[in-house]
Homo-oligomer: A and B are copies of this chain.
Amino acid sequence: MQATIITIGDELLYGQTVDTNSAYMGRELALLGIRVREILSISDEKAAILEAVARAEQASDLVLITGGLGPTKDDITKSTLAQYFDTQLVSNPEILALLEAFFASRNRPMLQSNIDQALMPEACTPLRNDRGSAWGMWFEKNGKAFVSMPGVPFEMEALMQQQVLPKVKQYFRLPVIVHKHILTAGKGESFLAEEIAIFEDNLPANIKLAYLPNIGSVKLRLTAHGTDRATVQQQLDEQVTKLVTQIDHCIYGFDEDKLEAVVGKLLLEKGKTIATAESCTGGYIASQLTLVPGCSAYYYGSVVSYTYDSKREVLGVKQETLDNHGAVSEETVREMLLGVCSKLGTDYGIATSGIAGPDGGTPDKPVGTVWVAYGSPTDMRTKKLSFKGNRHQNIELTALMALELFRRYLVKI
């Protein structure tokens, strides 16, 4: 079974609004095993809407439409759909009564445009909107369903949950699709692909693997199709287990996990604490760790030391270490880690020092050279990293690698 999503609104085409509705609807449909064939974003124009709906009707069994249901002149979805389904707009007494009550409660006059919001195509089933004045619409034609919803995400999401998804489940006989996301860090897409090439080749026909790469990390998605949920789930689980066994070392989590939260959870489980001493990452690791609610239980803070003085004064790095080895050196990150653990009284630390760029590189230490120290004062590891990105990327990659290296250290302890 296939679906088409149509989002209506010039603001989407101008790029003033990012279309988050489609992703939301896509996720919800995927959970029901409905494959979205295509997402179409189009203008608030009658011809564009008619063409898109006709195209969707040909290709899909279910068509979800958002946008163009407001009270203003450019909101023409309702009248256009009435035309498409060859039906008339009639005033819906239930909607009208609710609108009247709403305006009465606020002592505001009802304009004609407000009264017109009670108009509904005669051929549709109106879908109640608890969060706004524009109701949704459900049309049926030759065993296919067409749903129109407002474009405000907050209203659309409630309509989906309360009205649309239950009706979709009832109206269609659905196949089963189950997904699992395996989250990896610190290994490039092509190396990962090479490592699991045989696994991928041997996947059963009803299970697909996709690579979703990001900066420094790759998300692997396994998707299983079938008819019986328990069987499909079991088939998927088997493949996930195989895959995990093979690349265990670089997997930091599954599905919605975040690396910084995974590290936090490990620390909480072990009852341990951490602080960071950041030079080149400039507080970025701290800001990642502190995005996690409740992080103050294990994260004590950071010293962002952007000068020799601050490394010496706040972190206790020795002047001779700086003089002999420079700020970007194994010796310096070691002393930074020792200093911050002692200063903030934590079990573990992460320290970074490097040349994020674009300036500051030397032949010996080109832009992108980074030293990281991680672990405890008595059991510390260090690693030299080399990145070729711009300043922003080098900072992000350093943070990601430092957290991933520390995670791997933690799980082994």
Contacts and interface: CB of A to CB of B under 8 A. Distances in A.
B10 A210 contact: yes
A257 interface: no
Contacts of A305: 301
A111 B37 contact: no
Given A210-B11, A289-B282, A303 B296 contact: no
A152 B213 contact: yes
A144 interface: no
A327 to B, nearest CB: 10
Interface string A35-71: 1111111111000100010000000000000000011
Interface string A176-214: 000101000000011101100000100000000011111
Nearest to A26: B15
Contacts of A111: 190-191, 194
Interface string A99-113: 000100110000101
Contacts of A25: 15
Contacts of A28: 15
Interface range for A: 35 or more
| Copies of this chain | 2
Contact of A22 (B41, B190, B286): B41
Contacts of A281: 287, 290
B221 A190 contact: no
B291 A391 contact: yes
Contacts of A17: 23, 212
Interface of A: 10-20, 22-30, 35-44, 48, 52, 70-74, 102, 105-106, 111, 113-114, 131, 152, 154, 179, 181, 189-191, 193-194, 200, 210-215, 219, 221, 275-276, 278, 281-287, 289-291, 293-296, 299-307, 309-310, 313-314, 343-345, 356-359, 386, 388-393, 395
